[in-house]
């Protein structure tokens, strides 16, 4: 059996990479693991935690994702333009697969900072999703 993290993360990364607006902003610089030596801008899934949320009727999982957006310059506007599109895709794309169905999605928070060392804008986006086994 495939882990629910992998069953959700693979279609999420594919949907983000396939989005034309994100491609215009980033190219295909969307990763499911932190890149080593990757020049900004890019998006990375920094964390993906899963908690069992079984009910009386069906097994399920709560997914807590943390995505990092790294902009090329010290511009919150640039980072937030990427965040806006990432959220549109993550909250609206078809992520159901043969192993799981996404039943709920919610944007939890967005935090931004200008890195004092590198001078780049960064954003951390927390998303919560719930899934059940596909029927």
pLDDT in tens, 96-105: 988 899 999 9
pLDDT at 2 over 50: yes
What tokens appear for 17 in the block? 């990479």
Give the residue-averaged pLDDT of 4-33.
93
pLDDT tens column, 27-37: 889 998 777 88
Q: Please give the model's pTM, rounded to 2 decimal places.
A: 0.92
Q: Which residue has the higher pLDDT, 99 or 19?
A: 19
Q: Which pLDDT band holds residue 54 (cuts at 50, 70, 90)?
A: confident
> Could you give phi then psi for residue 113, rounded to 5 degrees?
-155, 150
Q: For residues 8 and 67, give the distance between their C-alpha atoms in angstroms, rounded to a whole number.
A: 14
Q: What is the DSSP string of the chain?
A: ---HHHHHHHHHHHHHHH-HHHHHHHTT-EESSPPSSPPSSEEEEEEEEEEE---SS---EEEEEEEEEE-SSS-HHHHHHHHHHHHHHHHHS----SSEEEEEEEEEEEEEEE-TTT--EEEEEEEEEEEEE--
Q: For residues 48 and 5, give the distance between their C-alpha atoms in angstroms, rounded to a whole number.
A: 7
pLDDT at 42 over 90: yes
pLDDT at 59 over 90: no
pLDDT value of residue 1: 46
Give the residue-averaged pLDDT of 73-95.
96
């Amino acid at each position: 059996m495939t882990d629910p993290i992998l069953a959700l993360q693979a279609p999420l990364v594919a949907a983000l990479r396939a989005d034309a607006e994100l491609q215009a902003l980033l190219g295909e610089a969307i990763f499911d693991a932190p890149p080593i030596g990757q020049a900004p801008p890019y998006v990375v899934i920094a964390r993906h935690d899963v908690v069992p949320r079984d009910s009386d009727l069906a097994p399920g999982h709560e997914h807590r994702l943390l995505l990092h957006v790294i902009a090329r310059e010290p511009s919150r506007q640039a980072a937030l333009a990427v965040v806006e599109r990432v959220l549109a895709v993550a909250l609206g794309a078809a992520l159901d697969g043969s192993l799981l169905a996404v039943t709920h999605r919610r944007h939890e928070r967005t935090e931004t900072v200008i890195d004092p060392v590198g001078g780049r804008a960064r954003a951390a986006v927390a998303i919560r999703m719930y899934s059940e086994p596909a029927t």
